Structure 1
Amino acid sequence: MTKEVAMRAPKTFDLDAHGAGWYSWEDISKCFWPGAGKKSVNVDPTLGQMVTSKGIYCIAWKAAGKAFPSNPTIQYIGQTSSFKARMGQFGWSAGFWGEQAPGHSAGWRWVKNKNDQMSVAFFPLPTPDIPKHMLNGYLHWYEALALDTYHQQNGSLPYVNIPKNGVVVLS
């Protein structure tokens, strides 16, 4: 007997930002990598829930306004099956912990070690009923919806989502 899953692909981005909406890199770093013997959920019970979650994330510079993919302060939109792992890859590639290292192509296009006014919004994907063989496609679909939402509002894709733009200029 096979389990039928009644789900439809959404036509617009319909996910809500987790918790406070925008989280500073400092808050993310403290929570996601709290140090020996500490747990993320004890550092920040709300943000700590995102450590192993799947979904869409938006990276902004000088974030203002609602955390949503249409926000013009967004510099990059991506998807992941583990927020902590993906943020770690971005951090290493952007040189937040020393020399730049492989892991995240957008991190290489970020200004090295520049995170003082960087914020991230996490949009967890409600995945309990999504079969594992469909999860990757669903993540990509939601990323496409987020990119389209940004494009419709701002007339282009976020700067770092366009590889030919090179390193982002942040003021």
Structure 2
Amino acid sequence: MLLGRGTRLSCGGSLITKWYVLTAAHCISFLTGRLKLKAVILGEYDVRSDPDCERMEGQLFCAPKIRTVPIDTLIPHPDYSPQNLGDDIGLIRLAEPADFSLDSMKPICLPISSALQSERLEGLNGVVAGWGATEDGLQSPVLLSVDLPIISNSECQAIYTDGSILIHNSQMCAGGIPYE
């Protein structure tokens, strides 16, 4: 995202095809003033270096350089609003296709069959990845991932006893154990 003082990485997303990135609607909706989404960075791992390299057994191995791809279209879910947490999903259409021949640039798999879409996931772990804040409160410069337990929506709704958040059937709940 472009801010008044330069470029800032603000939101994550996942490639789902060579033309589309899946992201949150709150990342692409209601952008006002100087805040403007201009491009998507593909193939990133460590934001401190480009290319990302590591030394193994005395030999240096480097991933391909990142690609900064301009955006063609932002497509937030039509029912998204900042007042609730429902329908917080959107698509970014790239102005040029991602290069899937690179090992650093691959699409995620989505459950497109009805059998996969109706599969019960409670009790399994989901993987979340990103450069977000860690337990020390600092932003990670390296892509991190964590396995989170998936819980039922009724179990999740019970956590929000004050009714401030409503969990919808189209949402999935994952995370740690609530504080007691």
Of Structure 1 and Structure 2, the greater strand share is in 2
**Structure with higher helix content:** 1
Q: Which has the larger radius of gyration?
A: 2
Between 1 and 2, higher relative CO (CA 8 Å, sep ≥ 6) is seen in 1
TM range (shorter): under 0.3
How does the TM-score come out when normalised to structure 1? 0.25
TM-score by length of 2: 0.25
